[in-house]
Amino acid sequence: MSLPAQALELEPAQQVDTPTDTVRRQLSRRLADAICLPASKLTPQERHMAGDVLVELLRSTEPDIREAVAKRLVMLNEAPRTILVILAKDKIEIARHVLENSKSLTDSDLIHIARKVKEDHRKVMAQRRHISDAVVDVLVEFMEEDVVETLLKNKGSNLSDTAIQRILTISRSHQPYVELLVKRDELRPSHGLTMYWWADTSNRRRILQRFAVTRHVLQESAGDLYPLAAQDGWQDAGVRKALQFIERRQRNRAATERSPYDSLEHAIEDIARTGLTRKMTEEISYMAGIKPATGAQILMDKGGQPIAIFCKAPGLKRDHMRTLWKGLGRQTETPDGQINPAFARVLETYDTISTDKAQTVLRYWNWSLTASLSPEVLKYIQNGVIPREEDFGAAAITAALVFSHRG
């Protein structure tokens, strides 16, 4: 005799003695086991069906069951992504298994998850063995210190220019980012030599070691273009600025001929007697082959090391660097007769960098700080906003970051 439908529904519950929790655990484990079967034993359709059933079961199950399922599925290359996404957004104790190790999650999944979870989850994501630049971009958007530092330390993370630019901006007030950025392969000279302006002493040393290079190849490749540009009257501003950056000669002979001083050395000696004025800043800047805005930035730098670059590039001797230092009202010695630590750092920079490398750095600073100072870029700087590199170029970014820095 057949049983009524209602009896069929109730019969299992009446006959099974195993507690509901145990049944749930066993069913969750068996569904996870089924999902993990090789393709030869389970069709994709049945795998997804098992996943759908397991998803519903996990929504109301205990945390330890969810964690057990997460551990079981995490290394499966074809695990149902729906389950993994749910588990990835779970409590961090459960989610970390999926977030750090799952190979089945796509970049799209990771981006979705990153926007829905908390900082602890994003920090675990930043520890993944490989993280694409698209996922890194989203993780960096939140600018959470632990997450960003984890990404910077992770050699398996790929940093896009967008991510580096975001971190570079914040590094002006967070020195640990500077040290970590300097070690990244993705960092370009424009990033490093811009970051120099707010880097501490040890990081300034690292930046120069990495980015103070010669320009021999550029000089050889463009050497024959100077006469042609001169014949054209240097009418192309872009060509003029580019060739000025590449040029071997640092001092500006034309500026020296127009100056009331017969040399850069004599101008600096006058500064030591009368002190630095705006006019004298302009005078020695032009004679040294840079714009006054660059010169002012160098001479006002608190650390002082850029002054060593300024002196070494045009061939000024140590004595004249000391003269300039004193002319700026800075001390070379402490009250007890010891060398002033700030001046000692300047001397170290002067002694450890070659003239041609100093010229590269000085010319890059001059190009990057002044080449793109259009009215539009100046407006960005006045408003404390960093313009987009794709709209204005790398030089505009450098100028905005440096001139708007209040360190």
pLDDT at 20 over 70: no
According to DSSP, residue 260 is labeled S
Give the end-to-end CA distance of the chain in Å, rounded to a whole number.
89
Distance (Å) of CA 338 to CA 317, 333, 343, 344 = 22, 5, 11, 10
- The whole-number pLDDT of residue 406 equals 65
- Secondary structure of 357-374 in HEC code, one letter for each residue: HHHHHHHHHHHHHHCCCC
Calpha distance 74→87 (Å, rounded): 10
Alpha helices in 117-188 (DSSP H): 119-125, 133-141, 145-153, 161-171, 175-182
Confidence of residue 23 (pLDDT cuts 50, 70, 90): confident
Position with higher pLDDT, 37 vs 304? 304
> Could you tell me if 121 and 146 are in contact, meaning their C-beta atoms sit under 8 angstroms apart?
no
Amino acid at 56: E
* Mean pLDDT value across residues 67-73: 83
pLDDT tens by residue, 238-259: 887 787 777 777 889 999 999 9
Q: What is the per-residue pLDDT for 13?
A: 42
28 in Cβ contact with 69 (< 8 Å): yes
Between residues 229 and 314, the one the model is more confident about = 314
Residue 16 has pLDDT above 60, yes or no: no
Please check whether residue 137 is in contact with residue 160, taking contact to mean a CB–CB distance below 8 angstroms. Answer: yes
| Average of per-residue pLDDT values in the chain | 86
Residue 67 near residue 93 (C-beta atoms within 8 A): yes
User: Left (φ > 0), alpha (ψ -120 to 50) or beta: where does 218 sit?
Assistant: alpha
Q: What is the pLDDT of residue 139?
A: 98
Q: Write the burial class of residue 334 (CB in 10 Å: 0-12 exposed, 13-18 middle, 19+ buried).
A: exposed
3-state SS class at 343: helix
The per-residue pLDDT for range 176-233, each reduced to its tens digit, is 999 999 999 999 988 999 999 999 999 999 999 999 988 778 777 887 887 887 888 8
Q: Is the pLDDT of residue 27 over 70?
A: yes
Residues 6+ apart with CB under 8 A from 162: 137, 140
Q: Per-domain residue ranges for the chain?
A: 19-105, 216-403
Choice among 20-24, 93-97, 119-123, 266-270 with the minimum mean pLDDT? 20-24
Reported as a single tens digit per residue, the pLDDT across 118-159 is: 999 999 999 999 999 999 999 999 999 999 999 999 999 999
- Evaluated on CA atoms 27, 28, 29, 33, the torsion sign reads positive
Q: How confident is the model at residue 19 (pLDDT cuts 50, 70, 90)?
A: low
Is the predicted pLDDT of residue 401 greater than 60, yes or no? Answer: yes
d(CA 212, CA 350): 13
pLDDT of residue 4: 43
Residue 107: its pLDDT value, please?
A: 96
> What pLDDT, on a 0 to 100 scale, did the predictor assign at position 281?
96
In this predicted structure, the answer to whether residue 362 has a pLDDT above a threshold of 60 is yes
Give residue 407's pLDDT.
62
What are 199's two structure tokens? 């880097």
9-18, 194-203, 261-270, 277-286: least confidently modelled range: 9-18
The position carrying tokens 């049945």 is 46
Q: What is the pTM of this model?
A: 0.79
Percentage of the chain beyond pLDDT 90 is 56
Q: What is the pLDDT of residue 6?
A: 39
| pLDDT for the residue 11 | 41
